[in-house]
Structure 1
């Protein structure tokens, strides 16, 4: 019994040492001064809640939204438009009279901003053995995306999670959606985080039987079919800001490298998530982590872009634009949109 206890304690100690070392390495990545050019170029995205398509927002709310979009250099917004069921059926407000009213307002007041209908799906477990969507389900999702585009949206933002690396149903879904919405509509995809080192997704999968990361190769397969890929900046599991900062720096470096390694995905725009929500809304975006903040995320994205030397087709995506606290919005403007020299 003592022998077994010693072995268990030794294993726990080894895991602790590895965790501490990994944390130190991530903290070291979050260092250095970003280049002056590593800031907003007006190619940013942002999420909006479903209330914008339900008629609940006032004229004053719309005026504030218009001002934030203009000030923040927001090129596209992802508006919650529908929930995707396991069979691919979509329930949502993208075809409602209230949605048409909002889209008409956006066309007049936000002519330079693409309004994308966010179609969301959440599942339990992996899609390693069974594809996330079968052929019939993919056809239903694609048809709904086509209806959203026909209703006046500038395109769709597909937010499907989790999707396992090498699940062929996601690339096939994107092909079907593209065919339905056409080449002039914007196709945006929510990715899983990129694994920080090759193979890291495997132990995470073994521990919780879920999917936490994509490989760079799978990210390229998705990016080849999309106009925009959004890499999350929430739900990182990082307990302190230095680790979260290093995590985000690594996300930028790995995502940029992944897309630049193949010609077909090199022109795809990248967005990196920046949390702008409080504890009361964190459940919408993922399990809250102690190290995540607007300021750390923005600083990390700037450092990551500096090291990756990426200037074009890259920006941030704020979650969510309409409910970000004033302090978070001020940090976003001062540290990303209009950083001091």
Structure 2
């Protein structure tokens, strides 16, 4: 308690009485308007923070429990590979090293970075001069593994625009173009992409029509809203949050052979919260993706710290634990994890993948 000072006015002297005359230009209705506005501001600031706090508790609880013994690889896993495989930087030594990493695991698909698209959806062949060699060498060294052309671009203002019919035309033509290099499929990646985007659906439908029979169509997709209200709260507190609805994911997935949820860059600060987040994403995706489409949960194997990625939290171990908890006893065979990305993955990442996810039986 502060000591009383005689030279300070009493509280009654500092505050005007309720029936005191208002300041010049001030009216009772204006004072009420200011109070209402202040209350609205407090609510708008406090509500998102409260939602995020409650969600943190929920995600921690989701991370508890013991994974089912049957929640292990089904031999449908994938790895994203960098551009060095198609531009000539990688050769036979790198093929042998990758094969040693993957042999005996559940990896069946490789997404090889062949783009990026130009912003108009075109792609110069000069960007992937060794794509044919890479596809052949990887398949020969890892029999049964399928090699896909990974094509993507940012959808930020001034970059690619999927609302443009001309851009969509070019994307589809590019998909047909890269298939002549001998790939087993096309793997798209467009970010950030709002839930409900109709341009994407058009691209997928038309790409399916131009792919040769037996070739695969796949896509990396955004995370689902893990808890009601979290998308709105995240947008108010953190900015744009491109979280998808389960309904939109279902519409997208039924057009695909494989869909990979990019379950990383979550801004979760601890392994416990990250495991809970991955568990929730896995469980939601299992209800949205039809069994006819292979569902892959993206797991991080990169270590650069950013405000959305805390390497000490988003670990391979925490991610695989979340996947196993979310999968539970679901027996579907068309399920796996996708490792991002080969050129940053460490020996510890691969050891964690093998130890915690296992090898196919």
Residues 272-295 of structure 1 deviation map (CA, whole Å, 9 limit, x = unaligned): 01111122xx67xx9423521111
Relative distance call for 1:42 and 1:171 in structure 2 (3 A) is same
Aligned length: 326
Q: Which residue of 1 aligns with 2:83?
A: 50
Match of 1:313 among 334, 344, 360: 334
Q: Distance in 2 between matches of 1:94 and 1:126?
A: 22
Relative distance call for 1:7 and 1:207 in structure 2 (3 A) is closer
TM-score, length-normalised on structure 1? 0.86
Write out aligned runs for 1:140-155 (5 A). 140-155=170-185
CA contact (8 A) 2:78 2:339 kept: yes
Give the CA deviation at 1:322: 4.2
Deviates more, 1:242-251 or 1:321-330: 321-330
Deviates more, 1:220-229 or 1:144-153: 144-153
Structure number with the higher helix fraction is 1
Q: Which residue of 2 aligns with 1:24?
A: 57
Give the CA deviation at 1:125: 6.2
Counterpart check, 1:111 vs 2:140 = no
Other structure's SS at 2:269 match: coil
Q: Which residue of 1 aligns with 2:246?
A: 216
Q: Which residue of 2 aligns with 1:89?
A: 122
5+ residue gaps, structure 2, are 1-30
5+ residue gaps, structure 1, are 260-264
Residues 108-163 of structure 1 deviation map (CA, whole Å, 9 limit, x = unaligned): 22231110010011122699xx9624222111111111111121010111001122
Give the CA deviation at 1:107: 3.0
Write out aligned runs for 1:44-193 (5 A). 44-91=77-124, 96=129, 98-124=130-156, 132-193=162-223
Residues 192-250 of structure 1 deviation map (CA, whole Å, 9 limit, x = unaligned): 10111355434444566634211000001111110000001211121111111111000
Relative distance call for 1:93 and 1:302 in structure 2 (3 A) is farther
Write out aligned runs for 1:205-284 (5 A). 205=235, 210-259=240-289, 265-279=290-304
Other structure's SS at 1:83 match: coil
Q: Distance in 1 between matches of 2:255 and 2:348?
A: 37
Relative distance call for 1:192 and 1:15 in structure 2 (3 A) is closer
Rg comparison, structure with higher value: 2
* Alignment root-mean-square deviation, CA: 2.8
